[in-house]
Amino acid sequence: MSQQAPPVLSVIGTGYLGATHAACMAELGFQVVGVDVDQAKIDLLNSGRVPFFEPELEELLQRARESGRLTFTTSFAEAGQNADVHFICVGTPQQPGAYAADMSQVFGAVTELAPHISGTDLVVGKSTVPVGTAEEIVEILKNTAAGGVEVAWNPEFLREGYAVQDTLKPDRLVVGVRSERAEQIMREVYAPLIGDGVPFLVTDYPTAELVKVAANSFLATKISFINAMAEVCEAAGADVTQLAEAIGYDPRIGNRFLAAGLGFGGGCLPKDIRAFMARAGELGAEEALTFLREVDQINLRRRAHTVDLARKTLGGDFRGKVVTMLGATFKPDSDDVRDSPSLDVAVAIYNSGADVRIHDPKGIANAQRVYPHMDYRTDLTDAVTGSDLVVLGTEWSEYRELDPRTLTSLVRTPAIIDARNVLDSVTWRAAGWTFRGLGRPTA
């Protein structure tokens, strides 16, 4: 690699993580080539469009394309020959029928890239992986034409909905390396961010790999902790929102990620804690993570509880009832429906006999692909008209701002379950609604 010119980067896998990383690195001034096996995705990205919804990303992508610094291809040869640093950003989904991660995309991408890279290149893992993966990639590369290529591990902490901001202004950068040269290249790649004062932590491979799953496990635990408190509040007639506010004032606890509700979902937290448990088991450390099984169970129980609460609110029977689910995505400001709690609940209510309509500002197309038989409505008024029960399942801002008085004339029965605890129960009850929250008293 040239000492003078900045490194040219390739980003392998252009999904939520890779497309964001590629556009942001081009924004920072690097020449970047994005690679994916999905031709339709590459065509879309090359036309300046983002194949998913993420605030700010399309503008950034278009700017980067116009600058000539960002291109996309399906050719590993093109990426391998033109770039010096290769970020692996492919998916690591849960294996069907198991807790462990399916690593075929990661090992497949590295194997395809290997014949096209040279001994001075650096392969940088960003996907969330089981500890030990960097070491496995070193072995794969040893046995190919790319023998001698170094590996670094650089986990990604971005949040969907804030992906651009999180990439350009991360809380920290973590880099697992095995040589000063690899560290130096990573410092060069992130020089603009390091210059802005972003903490840059250099570790060994296993620590870097574990940092990511440890962080996700902590966040999942915090959410499930407050949802466990919600279960107790329900039994005791207490209000978990007040409880959370009160304990959150203690700076050792803090109020972030302490919102009781329908729990976590998405393409990361659930599969990451499961893969972490599976890997700990392989390493003989399963006892250390048995609590994560409970974290997962508490989280899934909230979904079942919401279905039960809906049934109770409707008088014990879903048949002949119209239920409107507000939200299909696993969180607001994203179109991602992977393991979405609201979609899961909507489908469970449908399977129990209700006529279910689903509204979402951005997630309908993705939800339709997974559950084509469900009834999706793009217009909110249409979605709630004639409804017997409205369930707020994803806290999009437009749902937070709903006026109960306007809705009263549209629905058949004014009843709502606020499964994200974002509405003002007093206002809704004053407007004549039956109002239920999770972990909150019934009246």
Ligand X SMILES: NC(=O)c1ccc[n+]([C@@H]2O[C@H](COP(=O)([O-])OP(=O)(O)OC[C@H]3O[C@@H](n4cnc5c(N)ncnc54)[C@H](O)[C@@H]3O)[C@@H](O)[C@H]2O)c1
**Catalytic positions:** 268
Q: Which stretch binds ligand X (CB under 6 A): 16-24, 229-237, 306-314, 434-442?
A: 16-24
Give the residue with the Cβ less far from ligand X, 109 or 152.
109
**Under rule CB under 6 A, which residues in 24-83 are in contact with ligand X?**
35-38, 41
Give the residue from 355, 426, 347 showing the smallest Cα distance to 387.
Answer: 355
Provide the minimum distance between the beta carbon of 105 and ligand X in the complex, in angstroms, as a whole number.
4
153 close to 119: Cβ distance less than 8 angstroms = no
Give the residue from 298, 292, 286, 288 showing the smallest Cα distance to 273.
Answer: 292
Rounded to an integer, what distance in angstroms lies between the CA atom of residue 350 and that of residue 259? 27
Q: Of the candidates 94, 105, 133, 313, which one interacts with ligand X according to CB under 6 A?
A: 105
Give the residue with the Cβ less far from ligand X, 107 or 441.
107
Give the residue with the Cβ less far from ligand X, 41 or 303.
41
Give the residue with the Cβ less far from ligand X, 272 or 418.
272
Residue located via tokens 């058949």: 412
Q: Which stretch binds ligand X (CB under 6 A): 104-112, 117-125, 321-329, 410-418?
A: 104-112
Provide the minimum distance between the beta carbon of 267 and ligand X in the complex, in angstroms, as a whole number.
5
**Under rule CB under 6 A, which residues in 266-325 are in contact with ligand X?**
267-268
Give the residue with the Cβ less far from ligand X, 216 or 425.
216
Spell out, one character per residue from 155 to 184, where the chain touches ligand X: x when CB under 6 A holds, - when not. Answer: -x-x-x------------------------
Provide the minimum distance between the beta carbon of 62 and ligand X in the complex, in angstroms, as a whole number.
19
Give the residue with the Cβ less far from ligand X, 104 or 378.
104
Residue 16, interface with ligand X (CB under 6 A)?
yes
Burial class (CB in 10 A: 0-12, 13-18, 19+), 236: exposed
Q: Which stretch binds ligand X (CB under 6 A): 101-109, 137-145, 233-241, 313-321?
A: 101-109
Give the residue with the Cβ less far from ligand X, 71 or 92.
92
Provide the minimum distance between the beta carbon of 270 and ligand X in the complex, in angstroms, as a whole number.
11
Rounded to an integer, what distance in angstroms lies between the CA atom of residue 220 and that of residue 292? 8
Provide the minimum distance between the beta carbon of 108 and ligand X in the complex, in angstroms, as a whole number.
4
Give the residue with the Cβ less far from ligand X, 5 or 40.
40
**Under rule CB under 6 A, which residues in 232-271 are in contact with ligand X?**
267-268
| Closest residue to ligand X using C-beta atoms | 15
Number of residues near ligand X (by CB under 6 A): 27
Q: Which stretch binds ligand X (CB under 6 A): 154-162, 171-179, 200-208, 357-365?
A: 154-162
**Under rule CB under 6 A, which residues in 193-212 are in contact with ligand X?**
none
Provide the minimum distance between the beta carbon of 346 and ligand X in the complex, in angstroms, as a whole number.
22
First-to-final CA distance of the chain: 68
Provide the minimum distance between the beta carbon of 157 and ligand X in the complex, in angstroms, as a whole number.
6
Provide the minimum distance between the beta carbon of 398 and ligand X in the complex, in angstroms, as a whole number.
22
Q: Of the candidates 8, 11, 17, 390, which one interacts with ligand X according to CB under 6 A?
A: 17
Residues of this chain that bind ligand X (CB under 6 A):
12-18, 35-38, 41, 89-92, 105, 108-109, 112, 127-128, 156, 158, 160, 267-268
